[in-house]
Amino acid sequence: MNTKQKSYALPIAMMFALFFMISFVTGLPSPMGVIVAKQFGATNFESQLGFLGNFIAYAFMGIPAGMMLKRIGYKKTALTAIVVGFVGVFVQFLSGQVGSFLVYLTGAFIAGFSMCMLNTVVNPMLNTLGGGGNKGNQLIQFGGSINSIGATIVPMLVGWLMGDVAGRTIGKANPALFLALGIFALAFIVLLFVQIPEPHMESADARKIKHKHSPLSFRHFIFGAIAIFIYVGTEIGIPSTANLYMTAQVTAANPGLGIDAATAGSIVGLYWLLMLVGRLTGASIGAKVSSRTMMIAVATTGLLMILLSILLPKTITITIPFFGTVVPISVLLIILCGLCTSIMWGGIFNLAVEGLGKYTAAASGIFMVMVCGGGIIPLIQGWVSDHFGYINSYWVMFACIAYMLWYALVGCKNVNKDIPVE
């Protein structure tokens, strides 16, 4: 067993690197939204189109990515995803060279295809490389933690690279894009020359078997798929709009806070850091506390914090710990929501696939399609912030979290237990 673990050390390290890349590239539209708002004069709605381009790709690629995994296996799917990701990030780099908002959106869209394929690959591949069981689960937990680290770094790094308002151009973010390109290239070379077990490739005969039912035959799964759509949009929308709010100039029409990009990016990074803390905490108590209980607790807490952030007056301020920056207390409450959103993906997934049996694999593909909510929900919030102000746009987040609380309380109950799943 030790020999096996040692022989897979390099591909395991590359999977960790790809976990980092998934969050790093997925997080790029948040600080890049601040850049394009300045460089191209984009509205808040338009600045969120990068997320739409990135996440709408999941709607096209979610199910095909699962089919690729079964037909050509982990290795070829991962290599394809890495190539696509390299192209997507390179196109975003080119957008800075040619000064084109449309080219930037194209790059984000291409990168989204890669992130979808990588998300489909990395979790089951790590589980397989770890030999399944507790070791496989441990590797996935480590991967999730590295994912949070990547999400923490990207707004801080790009915010620092941007500098002052006058310097907010895509060209300033080039070092971050070069870092992404380098990791993609290294991961491709390593995976190309290592052997990886392929236990889930289907034979042609297995693909011919037709099932009478599907995950969509289960009501609690349908509600759960909607919850995933809403959740990903909430996870992205909360910090992204906060970044826009803090970096926007103080104007009468839609007043921002006028905080420099580096400081604002670091404060947003704190949201993702709190997600890491929440995930580690959730993993440590997961054996004793049910997903439903955790979902009810974090959704209720998140709902309360969003409500307070909307209702408390802007004149009530607080100094953000470690940064020494004075902000309205609503900003701190918004950032603290990272503790709440941290365990929601796992909680919703567990509740939604409960009792699905043989339909669980197909359910995972549908979940990947619903990740496109990460591009649509922030776009809606961006439109609301353009017309009703940054803080009022958090009523969108309030409604989203309210649905997830309802799902944990009522919608997650399996009322289709008569469907055979063995």
Residue the block writes with tokens 């987040």: 397
Contact 352, 413 (CB under 8 A): no
Which fold would CATH assign to domain 214-416?
Answer: Growth Hormone; Chain: A; (1.20.1250)
Phi-psi region of 173 (alpha: psi -120 to 50; beta: other; left: phi over 0): alpha
Q: pLDDT tens digits for 328-346? A: 999 999 999 999 998 888 7
Cα distances (angstroms) measured from residue 257 to each of 249, 271, 360: 6, 18, 46
Cα distances (angstroms) measured from residue 202 to each of 130, 207, 264: 21, 7, 48
Give me the residue spans of the domains in the chain: 1-193, 214-416
Angle at 119 between CA 115 and CA 121, to 5 degrees: 120
Contact 191, 79 (CB under 8 A): yes
Q: What is the pLDDT of residue 3?
A: 38
- 98 CB neighbour count, 10 Å cutoff: 10
Contact 170, 35 (CB under 8 A): yes
- Longest CA–CA span in the chain (Å) reads 67
What is the full per-residue pLDDT of the chain (422 aa) written as tens digits? 443 445 678 878 878 888 888 888 887 777 777 777 777 777 778 877 887 888 888 888 888 887 887 788 888 888 999 999 999 999 988 987 887 888 888 988 898 899 888 887 777 677 667 765 556 656 766 777 787 788 778 877 777 776 554 456 777 778 888 888 988 898 899 888 877 767 656 555 555 566 677 888 899 999 999 999 999 999 999 998 998 899 887 776 667 888 887 788 888 889 988 988 888 887 777 667 888 898 999 999 999 999 999 999 989 999 887 777 888 999 999 999 999 998 888 788 878 888 877 777 677 778 888 988 988 999 899 999 999 999 999 999 999 999 999 999 999 998 887 787 67
According to DSSP, the residues that pair with 413 across neighbouring strands are: none
Q: pLDDT tens digits for 219-229? A: 999 999 999 99
Q: Where are the beta strands (DSSP E) in 82-235?
A: none
Give the right CATH number for 1-193 from 3.40.50.170, 1.10.1740.10, 3.40.190.10, 1.20.1250.20.
1.20.1250.20
**Cα–Cα dist 177/187, whole Å:** 16
Contact 228, 344 (CB under 8 A): no
Same fold yes or no, 1-193 and 214-416: yes
Question: pTM to 2 decimals?
Answer: 0.78
